[in-house]
Amino acid sequence: MLEINNLHAELEEDSGVKILKGLSLTIKPGEVHAIMGPNGSGKSTLSYVLSGRDGYEVTEGSATLEGVDLLEMEPEERAAAGLFLAFQYPVEIPGVGNMTFLRTAVNAQRKARGEEELSAGEFLKVVRAKAKELQIDAEMLKRPVNVGFSGGEKKRNEILQMAMLEPKMCILDETDSGLDVDAMKLVSDGVNALRDAGRSFLVITHYQRLLNHIQPDVVHIMSEGRIIKTGGPELALEVEENGYADLMAEAQA
Amino acid sequence: MMPRAKLKAQKVEAANALLDGRALPQGGAWITRARSDAEQRVRDMGLPTKRDEYWRYTDPRRLTSADVVAGALHDTQGEAPAFDAFDRVKLVFVDGVFDADASDPMALDGVEICQLSQAAMTDLHWARDIYGALEARGQSPVERPLASLNTAYATEGVLIRVTGKPAKPISLIYQRKSETSDAMVHHVIRVESGAEATILENGPFATRFNQVMEVDIADGGTLHHIRAQGRDHERAGSAHFFARLGAGSHLKSFTLTANGALIRNDSVIWLDGGEGSAHVAGATVGDGAFHHDDTVFITHGAPRCESRQVFKKVLRHGAVGVFQGKILVDQIAQLTDGYQISQSLLLDEDAQFLAKPELEIYADDVKCSHGSTSGEIDSNQLFYLRARGVPEDTAKTLLVLAFLAEALDEIADPAYAEDLRARLEAWFERRG
Ligand SMILES: Nc1ncnc2c1ncn2[C@@H]1O[C@H](COP(=O)(O)OP(=O)(O)OP(=O)(O)O)[C@@H](O)[C@H]1O
Ligand SMILES: [Mg+2]
């Protein structure tokens, strides 16, 4: 599904500030991978580089989605190809209704894939059902995108977008941060409901707790722009107990 | 710097040169007096120049020159004019001249409408107390000679007296069919106590236009004024909107402007009675050779009134936007609630926004705020939309419309707001 090979990226502005330093990762269809790693190790940067945000320059390496070069595409093309990023910090857009935003996004992707646009009625039906599962009320759907939403509401709204867009490759950047226990359950249920053989997940998190709900197949530890260790779910437990110090020392040795 | 006296002498000389030998239009006693008073005001004030305080950002020469700069007609490629879908009483002006054949009969319950040209021939008319009177009042503290020029020479326009709550809006439609037309139109609107009406205006008007609308709203009256100045690249003009509000009366005035070589809109509003409200808003889109100037002066002359100014401009390819807005709060106007915001979205580095927000407050217990910003499209918002699959152009249009939404929200009836929003969307889509 997603194949990242020896990816190097640096900031476009302060060139010389290298953030990703030879990152490799392969996620097969249907798999859930988790990435853990200290603050500032480059996890969000990886998600931005994959989704095509301005400001980063890839100096080496490759990233492909189902064999197609991601790095050559515009962000909207990557989305239409099936990539989805649940933002660590969802963006507020005053003046654009959440519903308009969702419908524009869904129909833009359908159009890009040569599918027919959803009618207003069909769209409404689907959105209402999915919103209900995430306990997002009608009021929140009407409000401008993320404006005045609490931290947890913003994260649930990200998952609603994911559920509506039905991407193939979902990257969740700290979707668990800012969630209370119940919301974490809701969000995890939302994610688990989307798990299937044709869809993969890359879950960035600091906490093992989320991984109790969304059970990963593979766990990666990232440090200073690289994956320093890859293992099974037990790796997350090890981090939870001992922190990163041992793993980092081991990697340097 | 040129000495003041010399500058004034030059302005007066320019006015005399323009007016000498030009006869006032024929008319009855009341209008002849109003016209000759106005002519004298022009001669006393002189013509505006770029050295005047409120013309610093906009060069008035194109509006005061003896000859009109010819301008090619604009092809709107079949787009229906604004408000086309609404049931309304249509009054059509072609190059500033009333076209009776193209217009609806001036009959509507709750309103009396007549042409200025007909009223001018009578010896007495209700408009006597308003025609030229609000304009004259509006000459202080800031001189507006173009408006006096209009009062003196305009022969076209309508006089509307709202006595009830008419079921339909009155729609003033301004078509341009000539490449050299020079139009002067003067409307008077009187809203009687407790009455309520909607006045729509749309169309490019003329190659050059000078419009005055004087509005007098009696106690408890309400006027909705929605104006769509578009789409025409080569016209130039000035529109003055003078409004006096009695106690407990309400005004909502909204203007959409799309392109034009030079457009100057002055709004001069007096809240004369307590507990009134005046909302003036504008959404402007300019691409290329476009200079647009909103100059607003709101005077709170009574306690417990509310005023709002919401102006948004989207500019690109060298377009220039100007906002000059003032809230003046008299000593008597305690518990004033005044708000003013002017914002521009510059889509490239060539566009320019010039703002002069002013507060002048003589009462001690008031709530007044103003703000002015100039920015570009937020790159985080743009990326967020694109990351969800929305193509860049569509995403930009969405964000630009979101930016303009706060101004459109000032229109009370969402159906009109939606009509104008759809036009703005089309405007951006045509440009990509
Ligand atoms: N646009 C930018 N300008 C300056 N520095 C940046 C920029 N983007 C990333 N960085 C820096 O790159 C490093 C990696 O940041 P990134 O946000 O990817 O870390 P992270 O692993 O997601 O951290 P966290 O766990 O705190 O979310 C940090 O040192 C950060 O300050
Ligand atoms: Mg991060």
pLDDT in tens, A91-144: 999 999 999 999 999 999 988 888 888 888 889 898 998 888 888 888 888 899
The answer to whether B138 and B268 have CB atoms below 8 angstroms apart is yes
Size of interface A-B (CB pairs under 8 A): 74
The mean pLDDT of B250-270, rounded to a whole number, is 96
The whole-model pTM stands at 0.90
Supply the pLDDT for residue B78: 85
Summarised one tens digit per residue, pLDDT across range B311-370 is: 999 999 999 999 999 999 999 999 999 999 999 999 999 999 999 999 999 999 999 999
pLDDT greater than 80 at residue A253 = no
pLDDT greater than 90 at residue B287 = yes
**Residues of chain B found within 8 Å of residue A52, distances taken between Cβ atoms:** 386-387
Greater model confidence, A11 or B133: B133
pLDDT greater than 90 at residue A238 = no
The SS3 of residue A182 is helix
pLDDT greater than 90 at residue B306 = yes
Summarised one tens digit per residue, pLDDT across range A77-100 is: 999 999 999 999 999 999 999 999
Supply the pLDDT for residue B392: 94
| Assigned CATH topology for domain A2-252 | Rossmann fold (3.40.50)
Supply the pLDDT for residue B1: 61
Ligand 1 atom at minimal distance to the Cα of residue A38: 25
The mean pLDDT of A137-160, rounded to a whole number, is 90
**Percentage of the residues of chain B whose pLDDT score is greater than 70:** 100
The mean pLDDT of A32-38, rounded to a whole number, is 93
Buried b (16+ CB within 10 A) or exposed e, A120-155: eeebeeebeebbeebebeeebbebbbbeebeebbbb
Distance from CA of A76 to the nearest CA of B (A): 4
pLDDT greater than 90 at residue B2 = no
pLDDT greater than 80 at residue A14 = no
Among A53, A93, A146, A168, pick the best mutation site for testing chain B contact (most B Cβ within 10 A).
A93
Greater model confidence, A16 or B378: B378
Distance CA A164, CA B53 (A): 56
Q: What is the mean pLDDT of chain B?
A: 96
Closest CA to B358 of B306, B297, B307: B297
Please indicate whether, in this complex, the C-beta atoms of A53 and B391 are within 8 angstroms of each other.
no
Summarised one tens digit per residue, pLDDT across range B181-219 is: 999 999 999 999 999 999 999 999 999 999 999 999 999
